[in-house]
Amino acid sequence: MDSILDGDVQTVFENKDLVDSSTIVDQDRIYGRDEQLAAEARAFRDTLDGERPPDLLLYGPSGTGKTLTVKAVANKVKERAQESGIEFDFVAVNFKTMESHTLDRAVWKLGHQTARKAGVVWDVPRSGVSTDMKYTRLYEIVDDHFDSIVFILDEIDALTGSTGADEPAYSRLLYSLSRVMSEQHVDTQLSTVVVTNYPKFRENLDSRTDSSYNPNGIHFSDYDANELIEILERRRDAFKDDALEDGVIEIVAAYGAQNEGDARRAIDLLRDAGEIANRAGDPVVTQDHVRSANDSVVKNRVLEIVGGMSVQKKLSLYAAALVAKENEGAAPSPMVYDIYKILCEGSDMEIYTQETVNSHINKAGTYGVLESERSSGGFKSGVHLVFKFTEPVGAVLDTLGEDERLQEIPAKELGEVVKRRLRD
């Protein structure tokens, strides 16, 4: 133990931060996003002219560089602004990682992060204080400490708010932030950058919000395997010279391409392979290390999600996975509910409502095992969801099947039921 604590351990890493997907990197390490970087830079350029940058909407699949590029550009603008004596900064909040997806908690989180950037104390408790008071304190900090500020609102579609609300919480947040200057809450130039995997989230905006919130859209497409190779090559110096076996970057890129071109996962996988090599005392990261890392990542992600689930949540997710297995990874919620009811009847379990089942499945979405999108417009009428798995469906079914309460499920027979209904 002493040798470990003293740092006397062989490592394959030279600069491990470069394979941390949360690290803000220089633009020269970003590949395949020149058009998006240029569009973001043009928008942020207004800050250096003393003008308010336009609101931006960055949309596209997970791991395609949305947050990475905008943080890189904002960081560069911050450097330029300091040289010109302009107090500019950006505040990034990922709403998917919050423990509560309400408007009140979102405003508190924005205030907390903004106060930290301003170097002041956020003296507002999480509870016992109205949302309006949180807004007021947030705007005071913004007005007192910044000439210009950008709020990067990541995974905003997760900010759904309370069940039964007239509009999602993100609609109310965008309405307030889009009107903050016109209503003279602040003199600071305040803009928003919304980052989402679901551009259709705008369909659920309240009409007032839709009228006042008019962002410039920037689209991000999937990376292919060749682009992922280029991205990973730009992180090669995270490792010591000759610490990567030939073919390692290519196999990592191949796994990343299988995950819908997700560069973030590819970077994380390369780091995990290096850590496996370190634990084994190997001086070189091999393709076998990559394969072990990938197997471990998939298993651990799924285990993390399903391990502590109640039996009802497991039945709900199992039903979704059964449908998705026969439908190219997608599971329409009405069919999922039909299969769920069959599962409950066969297991002598209480049958919950479709709304509850959808909620159980969406809970798995907060951990990244699947995503959901509405199949029809309107916040209230959009009860028809389509669940799309981002983790291997087979791994989800296998892990759920380890629960003894689910081991008697006739998965093959139910699969045939799903196939017949899909044909119908």
Residue list, annotated binding site for ATP? 64-68, 223, 235
The three-point CA angle 166-168-169 to 5° equals: 115
CB 70 within 8 A of CB 43: no
Closest CA to 160 of 372, 304, 305, 384: 372
3 state SS of 23 = coil
Can you say which residues are annotated as belonging to the binding site? 64-68, 223, 235
Phi, psi of 253 (to 5 degrees): -60, -40
The tokens of 391 are what? 């983790």
Which residue(s) pair with 149 in the sheet?
A: 89, 190
3 state SS of 370 = strand
Q: Which amino acid is present at 3?
A: S
Which residue(s) pair with 218 in the sheet?
A: 58
CA distances from 174 to 58, 65, 91, 93, 112 (A): 15, 23, 15, 14, 18
Q: Which residue blocks in 84-224 are alpha helix, DSSP H?
A: 103-118, 131-145, 169-178, 207-212
CA distances from 144 to 120, 131, 137, 337, 405 (A): 11, 20, 11, 52, 58
Rounded distance, CA 253 to CA 262, Å?
Answer: 9
3 state SS of 62 = coil
Spatial CB neighbours of 140, under 8 Å, sequence gap ≥ 6: none
